[in-house]
Amino acid sequence: EVQLLESGGGLVQPGGSLRLSCAASGFTFSSYTMNWVRQAPGKGLEWVSAICGSSDSTYYAESVKGRFTISRDNSKNALYLQMNSLRAEDTAVYYCAKSTGGSCYSGIGYWGQGILVTVSS
Amino acid sequence: DIVMTQSPDSLAVSLGERATINCRSSQSVLYSSNNKNYLGWYQQKPGQPPKLLINWASTRESGVPDRFSGSGSGTDFTLTISSLQAEDVAVYYCQQYYSMPCTFGQGTKLEIK
């Protein structure tokens, strides 16, 4: 059974940093593209970043480019999102999400339960 | 970036009736070399993460009831629920994964009339 468990969220001041982690199990982690998707309170889904299983290429939404860094450790079955220069508009539930394949260009088949990041002074 | 626009923003349908949600992309998401539309449909119930219902515009995921179907090609797509059940109350999103950044529609809230 696929399981994705996010950790590392919480309250941070504007301009601060936070590192999200996602522990994955139940599948061959290195073979799949992994994503971070966020959802601001009461709002819709916003794709944030992906790291492709087939190539380890990384992609970012324009809203986080230059501030967030996605990475993975295949030996630990772990996905990370380093978030720097955080802004109030980054406040959201962040989902770790597994794509349906190793290609960068595939749908998102499994989602974690999400973790809340609050950016506020 | 490809912009995804859903219509309507909200929808109220009677139990047992058909529900139709539309999604339009600002450019084609049909990849000609494999004739696949890079479009997915997701269901999100309150307090839960999203769930993939339909992949490649029309392929129902395992375990998804057959009352859910996806259709369309190129830039215009439709999610149809043939006979609405109470458990289908949710927000539905389309997403394109044809090009990065992949993008979601704004969501359609489906309620019971």
Q: Express each pLDDT in B40-72 by its tens digit.
A: 999 999 999 999 999 999 999 999 999 999 999
Nearest CA in chain B to A38: B49
Q: Which residues of chain B neighbour A105 with C-beta distances below 8 Å?
A: 38, 97-100, 102
Interface test with B, best of A2, A4, A43, A47 (most B CBs within 10 A): A47
Distant-in-sequence, close-in-space partners of A19: CB < 8 Å, separation ≥ 6: A8, A80, A81, A82, A83
The partner residue sitting opposite B93, judged by closest CB among A44, A106, A113, is A44
> What are the two backbone dihedrals, phi and then psi, of residue A90, each rounded to the nearest 5 degrees?
-85, -5
- A107–B55 CB contact, under 8 Å: yes
* Structure confidence at residue A21 (pLDDT): 98
The Cα B67–Cα B92 span in angstroms is: 15
Chain B residues touching chain A at CB-CB below 8 Å:
1, 38, 40, 42, 44, 49-52, 55-56, 61, 91, 93, 95, 97-107
Q: Express each pLDDT in A29-78 by its tens digit.
A: 999 999 999 999 999 999 999 999 877 899 999 999 999 999 999 999 99
* Structure confidence at residue A103 (pLDDT): 87
Tell me what the pLDDT averaged over chain A comes to. 96
The Cα A17–Cα B66 span in angstroms is: 45
The Cα B25–Cα A89 span in angstroms is: 25
Give the up-direction half-sphere exposure of residue B11: CA atoms within 13 A in the CB hemisphere: 26
Mean pLDDT split into 10-residue runs, chain B, 113 residues: 97 98 98 96 97 98 97 98 98 97 97 97
Interface of A with B in 27-46 (CB under 8 A): 37, 44-46
Q: Which residues of chain B neighbour A61 with C-beta distances below 8 Å?
A: 101
* Structure confidence at residue A53 (pLDDT): 85
Please tell me chain B's helix, strand, coil percentages from 3-state DSSP, rounded to the nearest 5: 5, 50, 45
